Amino acid sequence: MNENTVPLRDMILLKEGEVVLKGLNKRYFEQKLSQNIRRRLKPFGRFIVTAMQSVIYVEPQDGDADIDGAFEAMKNVFGIMTLTRAVACEKDKDVILRTAMKYLDGELRTAKTFKVESKRSDKGFPMTSIQLSQYVGGELNEAYPNLTADMHTPELVVRLEVRERAAYVHGATVRGAGGMPVGSNGVAVSLLSGGIDSPVSTYMMAKRGLRIIPVHFFSFPYTSELAKEKVIDLAKLLTAWCGRMFVEIVPFTHIQEEIRAKCPEEYFTIIMRRMMMRIADEIGKMNNCGALVTGESLGQVASQTMEAMQCTGAVAELPVLRPLVGMDKEEVIRIARRLGTFDTSILPYEDCCTVFTPRHPCTHPKLKNVEAAEAALDVDALVQEALAGRELVKLDPRRLS
């Protein structure tokens, strides 16, 4: 076989993260991960996805597949620890050498120092991994006069792997998104406002393997259509990590007007947040959710003191997960910038909380006082009315460009 006629079978190797630690549940997690990967590859063409020994092989089925786009998309799939571009070739030492020379030619020409690292899981291969490294290393050293072997701090590491189906020559390895496959730990409702925090809390819980149903409370005409579009845009950005989502948009205006008309001003925010929790809890139960997620952080605002969180949490039957509770705003902003949600979050549309903010909110509310303050509301009827008016927006992950 002439090396110039050997087509390079460009592919992606994905190393599973925490999934591999899961003992008996490993198969379940692996299936979820493969399923998520297949779904996220769809916009990029036809691929074959196979899992073997904690590595998932993503191979294009034909020349039309967009492997660069697929590689970028795979960087955001939770459950993947590292990603490597690679080419597959025949399990023969000379074919492996020629493939490495062709695939890594650019790097081999420019590097000054290098080493070869081999792994062999196919014990039927006639050389040990050390012998293969020595053979390929020796040949490369001769073929590229610029290269010197350096076992300790080489500029270029040529990675070879001999596995059951084929041998692989690796390109550079990059870090994956980590975490656990979306859906592998259940489903949760995430309260998504247009702010900086809640897109980050949504991302963080998706990273721990939750499929997310975002819920947004919308106060038209106090907040504009643009404010709703902004939240949908944030949710669209999050699909890069969370996958497909159905956003629940809940009309909240009547509830806010009722609170303003019938409750003491110092409790406006806390009662409003309790109404949000009640509705989110109902949506959660309808969708078999195991938890609610919020972007609250201890002490950040009056409605996020310990006492306030106790009062808002008290109306939810589902547990409330607050992944940002111990984080500083700075830390949250850093993540929001990395995710690319920050610039959208700071667009200046009013959110429903700011429109009805009391001048002097109660910062250390007592539950019994809050209950008394909302006694004039027909809570059940308001919850049912809001649920009946909700709108569902389906979002699929977009191609990253």
Give the residue, chosen from 79, 179, 195, 214, that forms a contact with Mg ion under the rule CB under 5 A.
Answer: 195
**Contacts with Mg ion in 339-398 (CB under 5 A)?**
none
3-state SS assignment for residue 377? coil
Q: Which does 217 bind (CB under 5 to 8 A by kind): Mg ion, ligand ATP, none?
A: ligand ATP
CA distance 9 to 11: 6
CB of 313 to Mg ion, least distance (A): 17
Half-sphere exposure of residue 125, counting CA atoms within 13 Å on the CB side?
A: 25
State which residue, 133 or 193, has the beta carbon closest to Mg ion.
193
- With binding defined as CB under 6 A, does residue 195 bind ligand ATP? yes
Contact between 95 and 18 (Cβ < 8 Å) = no
What binding mask, one character per residue, do residues 148-187 give for ligand ATP by CB under 6 A, x or -? ----------------------------------------
> Among the candidate windows 9-17, 47-55, 195-203, 280-288, which touches Mg ion by CB under 5 A?
195-203
Q: Which of ligand ATP, Mg ion, none does residue 99 bind to, with CB < 5 to 8 Å depending on kind?
A: none
Contacts of 380 (CB under 8 A, 6+ apart): none
Q: Strand, coil or helix: what is 251?
A: strand
- Residue closest to ligand ATP when measured from CB atoms: 195
Residue 210 near residue 187, CB atoms below 8 Å: yes
Q: Which of Mg ion, ligand ATP, none does 115 bind, CB closer than 5 to 8 A by kind?
A: none
Stretch 211-230 residues interacting with ligand ATP (CB under 6 A): 215-217
Strand partners, 11: 86
**CA atoms of 33 and 180, how far apart (whole Å):** 8
Interface with Mg ion (CB under 5 A), residue from 99, 184, 190, 193 = 193
* Minimum distance of ligand ATP from residue 117's CB (angstroms): 45
Question: By C-beta, is 59 or 296 nearer to ligand ATP?
Answer: 296
Strand partners, 48: 59
The residues in 304-323 that bind Mg ion, with binding defined as CB under 5 A, are: none
In the list ligand ATP, Mg ion, none, the entry touching 177 (Cβ below 5 to 8 angstroms by class) is: none
Residues 1-60 that bind ligand ATP (CB under 6 A): none
The token pair at 399 is 């191609």
Site string for ligand ATP, 350-389 (x = CB under 6 A): -xxx------------------------------------
36 binds, among ligand ATP, Mg ion, none (CB under 5 to 8 A by kind): none
Tell me the β-bridge partners of 247. Answer: 393
Largest Cα span, the chain: 87
The option from ligand ATP, Mg ion, none interacting with 237 (CB < 5 to 8 A, set by class) reads none
What's the CA gap between 230 and 341, in Å, rounded?
A: 10
In angstroms, the Cα distances linking 72 to 41, 203, 400 are 10, 18, 7
Smaller CB separation from Mg ion, 193 or 312 = 193
Torsion angles phi and psi, residue 27, rounded to 5? -60, -40
Contact string (CB under 6 A) for ligand ATP, positions 258-287, x = contact: ------------------x-----------
Site size for ligand ATP, by CB under 6 A? 21
Q: Which of residues 286-315 bind ligand ATP (CB under 6 A)?
A: 294-296, 300-301, 303-304
271-274's contacts with Cβ under 8 Å and 24+ in sequence apart are 271/370, 271/373, 271/374, 271/377, 272/352, 272/353, 272/356, 273/303, 273/308, 273/312, 274/311, 274/312, 274/314, 274/315, 274/370, 274/374
Alpha-helix runs per DSSP H in 104-171: 105-110, 129-143
How many residues of this chain bind Mg ion (CB under 5 A)?
2
List residues binding ligand ATP (CB under 6 A): 191-193, 195-198, 215-217, 276, 294-296, 300-301, 303-304, 351-353
List residues binding Mg ion (CB under 5 A): 193, 195
